[in-house]
Amino acid sequence: MPQTFPGIRIEAAELRIVSLPLLTPFVISTGTMTDKVFALLILKAEGLEGLAEAVMDPAPDYLEETIPGAMAFLQDIILPRIVGQRFASPADLLAILDPWRGHRMSKAVVEMAVWDLWSKALGLPLAAALGGVRDAVEVGVSLGIAPIARTLERVSSAQAAGYRRTKLKIRQGHDLTLLAAVRKEFPDIKLTVDANTDYGLVDLPVLRAMDDFALDYIEQPLAFDDIHDHAQVQAAIRTAICLDESIRSAVDARKALVAGAARVINIKVGRVGGFAAARAIHDVAQAFGAPVWCGGMLESGVGRAHNIHLATLPNFTKPGDTSSASRYFKRDIIQQSLEATDGLMPVPGHCPGIGVTLDRPFLDSVTRRTEVIR
Ligand code: OSB
Ligand code: MG
């Protein structure tokens, strides 16, 4: 008699706010981060724990969601509807999450924790449950805005470490001079830039001038909520545009690719609402022949592990942002170390699911608040 999988019944949820100091402040066009503050969700079911890390910031600078807003939405609306319920698979969750508008980052943390739990219940690595095809993923570095001399040193150490691509954060006035300096010292490296929405259509001459630097792509030059104007820019420059902030769903991806607003997409599972949305975007891009890559939000080991498993899907053909955790933190909240060698990040496989385990005493020491939903 074949056994039927009974599903998993979620008994309780623990929602924490964690704060980890960053080794180097991370500067992008919209602001500076000195500590990585995030919500961590632990779902408990039949002796197993499903873990996930949320990617919204304390303030709505990168996108609209915030940690205080997420805490309220999760505690008051989502988690009470999930605790006590049995789920045959993560797809069952969507009926609870879909009716609510927006809040993709908050929905993602719940959906991702259920994926971890479900793959643990099945005894599978998350990558296998998702349909991944690799046991290690290619990664590059994302370098924050800094004086040019400092950036040159950081590019040099990233090259020495074997990272497969260097992404430079840019903003108005910190762009072409930086690129000229980097290209002079490193003529052949795989190089990209990320503007985090700092430019407008009036800046077309600057964006077009970037064609001289053989960039693999320009990430998110224009507004976070815009697809139309990106198509105008893409039609006027040779370099590929990669959209990050503007792609929230598979529908957005279709619209952007039909409109010619981008040729590459940065997928962040924690931003788009979870693995179902991330896979749907991946599939749409693949159908259009557009490569995707896995972005990051300076995650701790929990979010980093989720990102690595996601990036094992077949159309993640460009290096992602999931570089070694030791570049960000002195100490991580997990027991394993997530380190890349020669630009390859192995898929963590210490246990089923996301393949990493919490360092409880250290996690407790960096937890600022804990809420339990039963
Ligand atoms: O746009 O990709 C981005 C970090 C914070 C907010 C936005 C972005 C980023 C990164 C960091 O680029 C990627 C990483 O190293 O995790
Ligand atoms: Mg980006």
Q: What pLDDT, on a 0 to 100 scale, did the predictor assign at position 23?
A: 97
Contacts 24+ apart (CB under 8 A), 277-282: 277/104, 277/108, 277/249, 277/250, 278/310, 279/130, 279/131, 279/313, 280/249, 280/250, 280/253, 281/247, 281/249, 281/250, 281/252, 281/253, 282/313, 282/315, 282/316
Q: What pLDDT, on a 0 to 100 scale, did the predictor assign at position 154?
A: 98
Distance 135 CA to ligand 1 centre (A): 23
Which atom of ligand 1 sits closest to the CA of residue 299? 16
Q: Over 90: is that where the pLDDT of 2 sits?
A: no
State pLDDT tens for residues 349-365. Answer: 999 999 999 999 999 99
Distance 143 CA to ligand 1 centre (A): 9
- Confidence tier at 117 by pLDDT (50, 70, 90): very high
State pLDDT tens for residues 4-28. Answer: 788 999 999 999 999 999 999 999 9
Fold of 129-346: TIM Barrel (3.20.20)
Q: Where are the domains of the chain?
A: 8-124+360-373, 129-346
Q: What pLDDT, on a 0 to 100 scale, did the predictor assign at position 6?
A: 85
Q: Any idea which ligand is nearest the CA of 169?
A: 1
Q: What pLDDT, on a 0 to 100 scale, did the predictor assign at position 4?
A: 78
Q: What pLDDT, on a 0 to 100 scale, did the predictor assign at position 1?
A: 56
Residue 21 to residue 25: CA distance in whole angstroms:
9
Superfamily designation of domain 8-124+360-373: Enolase-like, N-terminal domain (3.30.390.10)
The preferred substitution site among 56, 272, 298, 323 for testing ligand 1, maximizing ligand atoms within 8 Å of CB, is: 298
Q: Over 60: is that where the pLDDT of 240 sits?
A: yes
Residues 178 and 170 sit within 8 Å (Cβ to Cβ): yes
Q: Over 90: is that where the pLDDT of 259 sits?
A: yes
Ligand 1: list residues with CB < 6 Å. Answer: 28, 62, 142, 194, 196, 244, 295-298, 321
Q: Whose CA is nearest to atom 12 of ligand 1?
A: 142
Concerning whether 36 is annotated as a catalytic residue, the answer is no
Mean pLDDT (whole number) for 56-63: 95
Q: Whose CA is nearest to atom 5 of ligand 1?
A: 297
Run of H or E including 169 = strand 166-169
Q: Whose CA is nearest to atom 7 of ligand 1?
A: 297
Distance 296 CA to ligand 1 centre (A): 5
The preferred substitution site among 297, 304, 306, 310 for testing ligand 1, maximizing ligand atoms within 8 Å of CB, is: 297
Distance 232 CA to ligand 2 centre (A): 20
Which atom of ligand 1 sits closest to the CA of residue 219? 1
- Whole-model pTM above 0.95? yes
The three-point CA angle 311-128-293 to 5° equals: 10
- Compute the mean pLDDT over every residue in the chain, rounded to the nearest whole number: 97
State pLDDT tens for residues 144-190. Answer: 999 999 999 999 999 999 999 999 999 999 999 999 999 999 999 99
Distance 86 CA to ligand 1 centre (A): 35
Cα-to-chain-centroid distance, residue 199: 22
Residue 254 to residue 286: CA distance in whole angstroms:
11
Q: Any idea which ligand is nearest the CA of 323?
A: 1
Which atom of ligand 1 sits closest to the CA of residue 194? 1
State pLDDT tens for residues 296-318. Answer: 999 999 999 999 999 999 999 99
Residue 238 to residue 230: CA distance in whole angstroms:
13
The preferred substitution site among 28, 35, 165, 166 for testing ligand 1, maximizing ligand atoms within 8 Å of CB, is: 28
Concerning whether 255 is annotated as a catalytic residue, the answer is no
